[in-house]
Amino acid sequence: MKKTIVQVWVLLLTATFAVAQEKQQQFNTDNIPVDKISKLITYTDVVPVKGVSTAVLYKRAWNWFNTYYKNPTDVIRENDSTKGIIVGKSRFKISNAPDKQGLRTDAGLIMYTIKVSIREGGYKYEITELNQKAASYSPLEPWLDTSSKTYMPAYVGYLEQIDTQLRETIDSLKKAMSTAPPVKKDDW
């Protein structure tokens, strides 16, 4: 009987330890895309869209900027239909891990630049210049360096929030660029 109780106890401790480790390792910062040349965090891809003109793709991108961002006039910094480029600078909030009462506190604003370039047969998006809003430019790349003296474990949670937000932005852009807006029928 004692042997069975000890075995159950050891099994419970092992399972608890495994769950705790899994929670700590849920997000892998190695999944954050870093450009090999610039060494900057960069989300980018070239997306082919066949059978759609450059003008239509540009209009889709323009419509996406104007519907995705709450204040597109504040976000859009460059808009050149002849070159097929739209550049925006936006931001979003991140938060600290919840405290013992489950309350999340503000951890600051993350700023980024998004550029959509339209070409015949597709488009390219680039999300770069990620930084935390501060008195001076504060890039996020040092948050990836776990050997740094200034490294904090909280950076993993921040990077996970950033990655989630930017991937949602990319998914929204891709959906908007791949589907045509519904055609209004004039039935009267």
- Please indicate, yes or no, if residue 162 is contained in any of the structural domains: yes
Domains in the chain: how many in total?
1
Q: What are phi and psi of 57, to 5 degrees?
A: -60, -40
Question: How far apart, in Å, do the first and last CA atoms of the chain sit?
Answer: 83
Beta strands in 120-157 (DSSP E): 122-132
The answer to whether position 2 is within a domain reads: no
pLDDT at 135: 86
Q: Which domain holds residue 153?
A: 30-178
Whether pLDDT at 4 is above 60: no
- In-domain check, residue 21: no
DSSP character for 148?
A: S
Question: The CATH number of the domain where 77 resides is what?
Answer: 3.30.530.80
Backbone angles phi, psi at 77, to 5 degrees: -110, -25
Asked if residue 76 is part of any domain, the answer here is yes
DSSP 41: B
* Interior angle at CA 150, CA 144 and CA 151, nearest 5: 40
- Higher per-residue pLDDT: 6 or 108: 108
- Domain annotation covers residue 94: yes
The single-letter DSSP state of residue 12 is: H
Question: Over the stretch 71-125, which tens digit does the pLDDT of each residue have?
Answer: 999 999 999 999 999 999 999 999 999 989 989 999 999 999 999 999 999 999 9
Residue 18 within a domain: no
166 domain residue, yes or no? yes
Cα 84–Cα 87–Cα 88 angle in degrees, nearest 5: 150
* Helix boundaries (H) for the chain: 2-24, 54-68, 72-75, 154-178
- Record the tokens describing residue 28, joined without a space: 């892998």
Give residue-wise pLDDT tens across range 29-81.
889 999 999 999 999 999 999 999 999 999 999 999 999 999 999 999 999 99
* C-alpha span between 95 and 177 (Å, rounded): 30
pLDDT value at 174 more than 70: yes
81: left (phi over 0), alpha (psi -120 to 50) or beta: alpha
Q: How many angstroms separate the CA atoms of 9 and 17, rounded?
A: 12
Residue 6 maps to a domain: no
Q: Which of 34, 73, 68, 90 is nearest to 174 (CA)?
A: 68
